Structure 1
Amino acid sequence: MQLPALQRLSRRWSLEYSLDQHGISFATMLDRVQDKGPLILAIMDTNGQVFGAYVSEPFKPCIGAYGSGECFLWRVRTGQATPTVEVFHWTGKNDYTIVTEHNFLAIGVDNGKFGLWLDGEFERGVSAACSTFDNPPLATDSEAFECARLEVWSIQ
């Protein structure tokens, strides 16, 4: 994966939140990642597709957007001899890298479209083409997807 230079040197990754271990709670996820980061968000949808985001700072309830140009979206491409990770870096076209409200999380926002959006129950999501990262939809079947697994890892 194409992590920023300092995070590539890190040898310590810590699982901060998992649907399997910590239950379905947006508040619990926010509490568990408080003051930790950067973070890797990893999602597997019900079709077995794996994708997510790298964010430069912890998710937090906030009015407006936050995060830096180090944020990016990613997806695992299968169908080849060896699966590869495809990365979509911040384009600089807008500053809407992370938006976290009480009932959703979004990474990349552009004219009502989200690079990656998750509802507050981590059941459903949407991934659409977004100029923040110039990404295609991360889930391959359609823009909408259902979460099967979700994890948030901190890099220290």
Structure 2
Amino acid sequence: MGVAYSVGEVDHLYTFFAQWSPEVCHKGDKNQWKPHYVIKDKNQNHILVVEKDIAAINKILSKPINTAAKKWEIITVKDSKRCQSLCSSDASEVEEPEYLLEVDDDLPVLTDQSHLLDDYHLEKLAAHMPARTRGYQWQLVYSTAVHGSSLKTLYRNMAEVDSPVLLVVKDMHKKVFGAFSSDPFRVSKYCYGTGETFLYSFNPDFQVYKWSGVNSYFVSGNRDSLQLGGGGSGFALWLDADLYRGSSFSSPTFHNAPLSTNEDFIVQDLEVWTVQN
């Protein structure tokens, strides 16, 4: 969330920060990461990052970096995906509390290396993810390359997960597709999930299939298979217990086309990512 202020309204900005965060004069361990504010130029792709220091903020705004800019946006980056890139280590903490950075595209930040996702995939997927997932890092919770091919292991790795998950599948034809699930995958007697759940495919162009509203067969799982979407002649996405064989059919839940080149496919690689709270 952002609040726009005129660069010249320093007094109002002072009051805003003072009321919002009275603890700004933090005297804790200097090596401990402290929350930051970001002052973002709406007309330029730059952001100015400052610590919670009223004197520093006033000093900065008294000599604006871009005197042509008329408006600035004040946003908090606590728990944001920028934390790692802006304050990735204790060594990055310097005495000077401000610095200037170019703003990258608003892509999800992956804490681990992905064998399946690149910036193109992330850019397309990010546009359709719920707002509640934005600003967080994404952590790899399961990968066939790391953990082997086992649905049982996938469930076990998600036992403590309570955040949305992103399933990424690559088949033997090098096609990438999968699903965003509002709920982590688990064994359940009944279907679970919400309308935030969607399917996607890069086969070859990006396609996204949102909830149709026809039924609520979002996700269901048992020890033998994982299924997404239903109510028709087959599941929108089905994976076996070995995460080796799968199938994809059109389903009423998402009104999707088959995600893979063929309705039945062989899994080459599979990853599951979750929001890191």
Alignment equivalent of 1:57, drawn from 167, 183, 205? 183
TM-score by length of 2: 0.52
For residues 1-156 of structure 1, what are the structure 2 equivalents within 5 Å?
A: 1=125, 2-7=128-133, 9-36=134-161, 37-78=163-204, 84-140=205-261, 142-156=262-276
Structure-2 separation of matches of 1:10 and 1:103: 35
Cα pair 2:150 2:241 within 8 Å, conserved:
yes
Structure-2 separation of matches of 1:127 and 1:4: 24
Cα-Cα RMSD? 1.1
Cα pair 1:10 1:155 within 8 Å, conserved:
no
Structure-2 separation of matches of 1:31 and 1:127: 24
* Structure 2 CA distance for partners of 1:71 and 1:90, relative to 1, 3 Å: same
Larger % of strand: which? Answer: 1
Larger % of helix: which? Answer: 2
SS in 1 for 2:136: coil
Structure-2 separation of matches of 1:57 and 1:130: 19
Structure 1 residue 26: deviation in Å?
Answer: 1.4
Match of 1:81 in 2: none
Cα pair 1:38 1:58 within 8 Å, conserved:
yes
Structure 2 counterpart of 1:151, one-letter code:
E
Structure 1 residue 10: deviation in Å?
Answer: 2.7
Cα pair 2:219 2:229 within 8 Å, conserved:
yes
User: Greater CA radius of gyration, 1 or 2?
Assistant: 2
The runs of at least 4 aligned residues of structure 1 exceeding 4 Å deviation read none
Structure-2 separation of matches of 1:131 and 1:10: 32
Structure 1 residue 13: deviation in Å?
Answer: 0.4
Structure-1 separation of matches of 2:159 and 2:206: 27
Structure 1 residue 39: deviation in Å?
Answer: 0.2
Structure-2 separation of matches of 1:43 and 1:29: 14
Structure-1 separation of matches of 2:177 and 2:150: 20
Unmatched tracts of structure 1, length 5 or more: 79-83
Where relative contact order (Cα < 8 A, 6+ residues apart) is larger, the structure is 1
Structure 1 residue 85: deviation in Å?
Answer: 2.7
Structure 2 counterpart of 1:100, one-letter code:
G
- How many residue pairs get aligned? The number is 149
Identity of aligned residues (%): 36
Structure-2 separation of matches of 1:138 and 1:26: 20
Unmatched tracts of structure 2, length 5 or more: 1-124
Structure 1 residue 24: deviation in Å?
Answer: 1.6
Structure-2 separation of matches of 1:85 and 1:127: 16
